[in-house]
Structure 1
Amino acid sequence: MTKHLDRDMDQLHRDILSLSAVVEEMIGNAGRALQDGRVDLAEKVIHDDQEVDQQEVAIEEECLKMLALHHPVAIDLRRISTVIKVNNDLERIADLAVNVAQRAIGVKDYPRFVIPEGVGPMVSKVSGMVRGALDAFVNMDTSAAKSVILRDDEVDALNADLINRLRLTMQQDAQFVAAALHCFSAIRHLERIADLATNIAEDAIYLVDGEIVRHRSVMKKIAK
């Protein structure tokens, strides 16, 4: 039984890595589509979401089958339950990347609208958080996971600054209201991706320590 469980765990590991790679690429392409007006990249993100949906369902079905067949305990049970949660978060991140891509297409209809300078750094930070959270999960690295969680404040600060800039733009020039609203929505979606990266990092800590650190007040105590 142990040999079969180990084999299935190895395959599950490869499957979640494959899904992670697709989702990371989607975030990068959605960010570039927004910054550079690349409709082709936006359309690729939207198309790739179908693959993510299929992989997400397949991984969840595999996890449920492993729970039923192997009755795992301790770290194996935690790993499978964590994969189920991470798998779901990755699918949600992909959906948010699609939302960013759709907003990028909307912005493209207003060529005179200038994307705020802070969008690029925000995309980079969000992408880095997702990558860091997944690395922490794969490597079972709680220190890296805690670092990702603490970086969420940086994204929140960028989000607030960009929202203020866009509000000012809308107040100063009514012709940019529609474009600014598209950009506003895209930034909100990026901020939500960072929140989901935080969820994955918290799940990585649970995987290693068996301790739930879902609430920020708890996380601050652990970080000290």
Structure 2
Amino acid sequence: MDTRPKYHQALNELQQQLLVMGELVERQIQSAVDSLKNLDEQKARDTVEKDDQIDDLMSRIEERCLRLIALQQPMASDLRIIGMTLKIAIDLERIADHAVDIAKVTIRMSGENLVKPLIDIPRMADLAMGMLRESLLSFTEKDVNRAASLAEKDDEVDKLYSTVLMDVTALMGTDLAANRQLTHLIMVANHLERVADHTTNIGEGVIFLVTGKRKDLNV
């Protein structure tokens, strides 16, 4: 019996499962940043709890990748796609971890008032989430140009990160409680900067998958 149609269906389902994981991770980032903007401890705790869903999905994708390799003996081109799918899933899981870390900052700041309105941090989050969507589209469409465009967006995130550092540092003084919160905000900005870096990792992988050449998008 010809099992190749079933194999290609399984390969497509694997990539769809990855997109589902990407959507969940994006929601986690949004939820974590919203919890911080509103100092909503319950939303933050919900974000932390939902991380188990992403970890479970990561395990299922990993298992599916290994099963396809073991049972279907994919050709080199498909093997690269399976390997890339697994690599992206790992990056997505790490992005989700950053969302959890942001939510934990909200929990630590429970009962406080924000020292300053959050402006640039939500902008960083919006850019990072847009990069995440673009990186996954570049993979599903095997679009090198879309993947390469992530470098410019990463520069925007880096500039906002520098702005946050300067603004927050300028506010630090002798108030220890305020300084503690401002330090937390720097940590949040750092987590979002790392989210953007993970999306450029995905873009670099796509470029290598399509062209066989390595390109550093995070310079």
The normalised TM-score by structure 2 is 0.92
Q: Report how far residue 161 of structure 1 moved.
A: 1.2
Question: Over aligned residues, Cα RMSD in angstroms?
Answer: 1.7
**Cα deviation 1:169-222 (Å, max 9, x = unaligned):** 1136444011111111111111100000111111122222232224657xxxxx
Change (3 A) 1:112 1:215: closer
Contact 1:96/1:193, CA 8 A, preserved across alignment: yes
Within 5 Å, give how 1:75-114 maps onto structure 2.
75-114=77-116
Q: Which amino acid aligns with 1:187?
A: A
Q: Report how far residue 118 of structure 1 moved.
A: 1.3
Q: Counterpart in 2 of 1:161?
A: 163
Contact 2:207/2:214, CA 8 A, preserved across alignment: yes
Q: Report how far residue 114 of structure 1 moved.
A: 1.9
Q: Is 2:50 aligned against 1:15?
A: no
* Structure 2 stretches lacking a partner, 5+ long: none
Q: Which amino acid aligns with 2:209?
A: L
Contact 1:106/1:179, CA 8 A, preserved across alignment: no
Q: Distance in 2 between matches of 1:112 and 1:26?
A: 21
Q: Counterpart in 2 of 1:222?
A: none
Q: Which amino acid aligns with 2:157?
A: V
Q: Counterpart in 2 of 1:55?
A: 57
The count of corresponding residues between Structure 1 and Structure 2 is 217
Q: Distance in 2 between matches of 1:157 and 1:172?
A: 28
Which deviates more, 95-104 or 107-116?
A: 107-116
The normalised TM-score by structure 1 is 0.90
Match of 1:45 among 44, 47, 60: 47
Q: Counterpart in 2 of 1:220?
A: none
Q: Distance in 1 between matches of 2:120 and 2:218?
A: 26
**Quick one: percent identity of the two aligned structures?**
31
Q: Distance in 1 between matches of 2:110 and 2:101?
A: 14
Q: Counterpart in 1 of 2:119?
A: 117
Q: Report how far residue 18 of structure 1 moved.
A: 1.4
Q: Report how far residue 112 of structure 1 moved.
A: 4.7
Q: Counterpart in 2 of 1:126?
A: 128
Q: Which amino acid aligns with 1:80?
A: I
* Structure 1 stretches lacking a partner, 5+ long: 218-224
Q: Secondary structure at the match of 1:171?
A: coil
Q: Distance in 2 between matches of 1:78 and 1:202?
A: 14
Q: Distance in 1 between matches of 2:172 and 2:58?
A: 39
Match of 1:205 among 190, 194, 207: 207
Q: Which amino acid aligns with 2:205?
A: D
Match of 1:146 among 112, 128, 148: 148
Q: Which amino acid aligns with 1:200?
A: I
Q: Report how far residue 105 of structure 1 moved.
A: 2.2
